[in-house]
Structure 1
């Protein structure tokens, strides 16, 4: 037994990033679903996360939050397959992609494009077309940066899975649910090849939130 418990919210891209890593490493774990956007969820997270967010990983008596820290811990604490390449330059690219994802990609692609393009309507909430447009405008330079990295071939190959793949894939998956986002992705061949490869993996399908099938069925 691994002694692992993941506290998360299934719609969260960051929760899914950890679930992808756990699946790729074939690690068994208990899962505790908590909605951080409700009062009950915030009450349950008290003592686990000082900022009331998910995911939180519990390994026996050791609790850890922040997705990048969790992904690194899973590699350090458990055996192969490792999700961090041996080559120094490839390692640097993994760190770079993760930094880009957190700092420049999450807000426009997920919080703006995905949220106001499909998710808010799915949840019965009002969406703002202006926010969607802002997100699409800001997404282009981020995708261009990742296209260059993917084209260089050190990481984002769609074959060898790294921590960067685990962090990035859930966000691109959500972004591509919006027709304009899908078109922007398809206009970047290296990034599209990467996404086709990563989305064909069993872990990707296993961790995909159930509501995505509902959204795709409504296209």
Structure 2
């Protein structure tokens, strides 16, 4: 599924914060497609809350939201798939039915099982809280690491030795998981668990060297 030849030229807008995993997923997709875009700051965790006008873009008050040529979307997965199909550039989902299903399965695993333990359970507890002078919740951290172990094992098995998560070429699956791993591996326990899966560790080294990830400050260190 390659991009169309007649996509409107209006610069897309992404609404959210630069450090959000799901905003990063959308922005990585845009960058990999070679699409210039604008990040419009919206912080759902601001003391005053979500701006009331933003609810017209996202009735649930989450980020990101997206607009292109008057067309509005919310939910990162839907936005990323739209970007892949609406713009020229390398296709970011495999052509084969089975390979495409595998990519979508990995995206679902990342959303349903990896995001919360890896980011909120491991990164926040081990990295962000101590940086703010708060104690880590060790019980929560241990539970999150156990969940992360299951996710990493499943992902490593699904890779089947490929250079990318869903086959020989970069896909939306890679761009979906990468921002989560970027946070997860900043915790010593996360880095150790990633290293225990050589295929995933090599995948992350490859991903973190990509210009798109470096542009957004997602690196291996």
Q: Provide the TM-score with structure 2 as the length reference.
A: 0.89
Question: Residues of 2 paired with 1:50 and 1:123: CA distance?
Answer: 31
Q: How does 1:24-173 map to 2 (within 5 A)?
A: 24-43=32-51, 45-153=54-162, 155-156=164-165, 160-173=169-182
Q: CA RMSD in A?
A: 2.1
- Cα 1:65–1:199 shift into 2, 3 Å: same
Following superposition, the deviation at residue 45 of structure 1 comes to 2.4
Q: Size of the alignment, in residue pairs? A: 212
Unaligned runs of 5+ in 2: 1-8
Residue 195 of structure 2 corresponds to which residue in structure 1? 186
More divergent stretch after superposition (150-159 vs 53-62): 150-159
Following superposition, the deviation at residue 60 of structure 1 comes to 2.1
- Cα 1:82–1:33 shift into 2, 3 Å: same
Q: Which runs of 4+ in 1 moved over 6 A?
A: none
For residues 123-148 of structure 1, the C-alpha deviation after alignment (integer angstroms, 9 at most, x for no partner) is: 45553121111111111111000000
SS in 1 for 2:50: helix
Following superposition, the deviation at residue 159 of structure 1 comes to 6.3
Following superposition, the deviation at residue 201 of structure 1 comes to 0.3
Question: Among 16, 24, 32, which residue is 1:16 paired with?
Answer: 24
- Cα 1:10–1:41 shift into 2, 3 Å: farther
Residue 213 of structure 2 corresponds to which residue in structure 1? 204
- Cα 1:165–1:114 shift into 2, 3 Å: same
Following superposition, the deviation at residue 157 of structure 1 comes to 6.8
Question: Residues of 2 paired with 1:91 and 1:205: CA distance?
Answer: 26
Unaligned runs of 5+ in 1: none
Residues 1:6 and 2:14 are matched in the alignment: yes
Following superposition, the deviation at residue 2 of structure 1 comes to 3.3
Tell me if the contact between 2:117 and 2:144 (Cα under 8 Å) persists in the aligned partners: yes
Tell me if the contact between 1:157 and 1:193 (Cα under 8 Å) persists in the aligned partners: no
